[in-house]
Amino acid sequence: MNYRKFGRTGLSVSELCLGALQFGWLNDAKASFNLLDTYLELGGNFIQSSTVASDQNIVTQSEETLGAWLGQRPGVRKDSVISTRMVFTAQSLAPGQSLAKLVREQCEASLRRLGLSHLDLLVCEWSDCFMPNGKAIRPIDELLLGLEHLVRAGKVRYVGTAGFPAWRFIEALARSDRLHGCRFDSIQQKFSLLDQGNFHADLSAIAREYRVGVLAESPLAGGFLTGKYSHRGPLRASTRGGELAKHYANPRGYSAISSLESVGQDLGATPAQIALAWVLRHETVSSAIIGCNHSGHVHTSVAATQIQLSNEHLWRLEKTLEPASK
């Protein structure tokens, strides 16, 4: 697998980051360990676990499963980049507790579950509790102060964001300068052929100007770009299927799949591989996060890192997303 620089941090990360969100519930321990072993064998070094807020509780199976795997493979930690994505909610704050203290406590709990002395990257998910609330110290300042404490204590090497609006990210950089503390060194956002948003106008410019790493989340648009879905095979009316249908089951989405299939036929690749190759061709993307259900998915995803898309292929993929002329 190829490696890329992670912003200004000095870290070198594999082009594909293995997302461990499903570990411990959708993937049991045996399946999760197999995925991790396969990813490691194929040259991957970047793993992201997660804590998830559900009904005001923190779901921790992802970290616990990854921690159990690391505990059984003590030599792996030295060459791995371990990250966890963390959410802080207003409901998690005890009466009188500061956000800075909550950040420290949640990180320390994550380290215990992972069995680690430190995280290479702590990713903070955007939350309404970071919004201004009229206090003398804004919540974003409290967040940065809590993170600075963790960095100084050697419990976290670098910190990043997930889902932060671009202007909030820039604001946080400015406030970290004012506080003379740690700053965010990465941005994690949804980015795929169907989810480009303001990537080219905002995130790419931010990455270059401020030398931050970019993590492409959901590079297959939640699985829609795998090619499993077509007009002949409608999305199931499950919660996930309903979300995919809401966002992607439209002429634009199906046109993208057709284009991916066409380019894939030229290169002997699947639509999912072409979709991943398209994301990785963007130089400002440090790594794309993949979620896999079995080891075969890891193999096919890693194979996508070797695909070279020509200018003609890129034109065909982009052309399908252009609005029809009137």
How confident is the model over 211-227, as pLDDT tens digits?
A: 999 999 999 999 999 98
Read off the tokens for 281.
Answer: 């061709």
179-209 pLDDT tens trace: 888 999 999 999 999 998 777 778 888 999 9
Assess contact for 114 and 145: CB atoms under 8 A. Answer: no
- pLDDT > 70: percent of the chain: 90
The domains of the chain, with CATH numbers, are 3-222+282-307 (3.20.20.100)
For residues 260 and 320, give the distance between their C-alpha atoms in angstroms, rounded to a whole number. Answer: 10
A 10 A CB-CB count for 43 gives 14
What is the model's pTM? 0.92
Say what the pLDDT of residue 326 is: 36
To 10 degrees, the CA torsion angle through 173, 20, 189, 121? 20
Residue 112 to residue 84: CA distance in whole angstroms: 13
The backbone torsions φ and ψ at residue 102, rounded to the nearest 5 degrees and listed phi first, read: -60, -45
Region of residue 110 (left: phi > 0; alpha: psi -120 to 50; beta: else):
alpha
Span 248-264, average pLDDT: 92
Q: What is d(CA 252, CA 224) in angstroms, rounded to the nearest whole number?
A: 12
With bands split at pLDDT 50, 70 and 90, how would you rate the model's confidence at 280? very high
Q: How confident is the model at residue 59 (pLDDT cuts 50, 70, 90)?
A: confident
Query: Which residue matches tokens 């404490």?
Result: 149
